[in-house]
Structure 1
Amino acid sequence: MSNHSPLSNESLGPSSPDPDRSHDQPDRTSLRSIKGPAQFLSFWVAIALPFIHLPLVAQGLGNPQITLTFLTLLAVNVFALYVGHGYKQ
């Protein structure tokens, strides 16, 4: 038996669960345009932050506020290293 229907299926959307991906292109383009400056900034932040760590360590980490500041800056430095590691490769 033939399932030939007189109605056209052209008006129906795509049968796949994924919608049309043509609207994702601007998102990818904007991510690419942000990636370079983000890596640049992260790279240089990762280089500069150890110079801020030195005075904190020299002052001593006995004060809880200084210790918290040091650990926060250390976490920011690790994150900056992760984001900026691909700069200029």
Structure 2
Amino acid sequence: MPNPSPLSNESLGPSNPEAERDRGRLRRSVKRPVQFLSFWGAIALPFIHLPLLTQGLGDPHVTLTFLALLAINVLALYVGHGYNR
């Protein structure tokens, strides 16, 4: 006799193919604009880095801003790399 699980799966219910299709359509409809914004953001962000670099990174706030922008740029490159293929 198998041990009953302390957690019930009754709330999960059977999968609904229509709901799965709707989620797939939603993902596709959101993916393209997100990739577009990320792609062009990755292109534009280095122009914001230039004034920070010319000002110098001696101030901790400027350094932190530069590193945050750099991290955002790397994330934008990753998300937007598949745009317009």
Identity across the alignment (%): 62
Q: Distance in 2 between matches of 1:21 and 1:72?
A: 42
Q: What stretches of structure 1 of length at least 5 have no aligned partner?
A: 1-16
| Alignment map for 1:10-25 (pairs within 5 Å) | 19-22=14-17, 23-25=19-21
Partner of 1:85: 81
**Rg larger for:** 1
- The aligned counterpart of 2:27 is 31
RMSD: 1.4
State the TM-score, normalizing by the size of structure 2. 0.80
Paired residue for 1:45? 41
Runs of 4+ in structure 1 over 6 Å off: none
1:21 Cα deviation after fit: 3.7
Q: Which residue of 1 aligns with 2:51?
A: 55
Query: Structure 1: how far apart are the matches of 2:44 and 2:13?
Result: 44
Residue-pair matches, total = 73
Structure 2 unaligned residues grouped into runs of 5+: 1-11
**2-side partners of 1:34 and 1:53: how far apart?**
28
Structure 1 position 88, deviation (Å): 0.8
Q: How does the TM-score come out when normalised to structure 1?
A: 0.77
SS in 2 for 1:31: helix
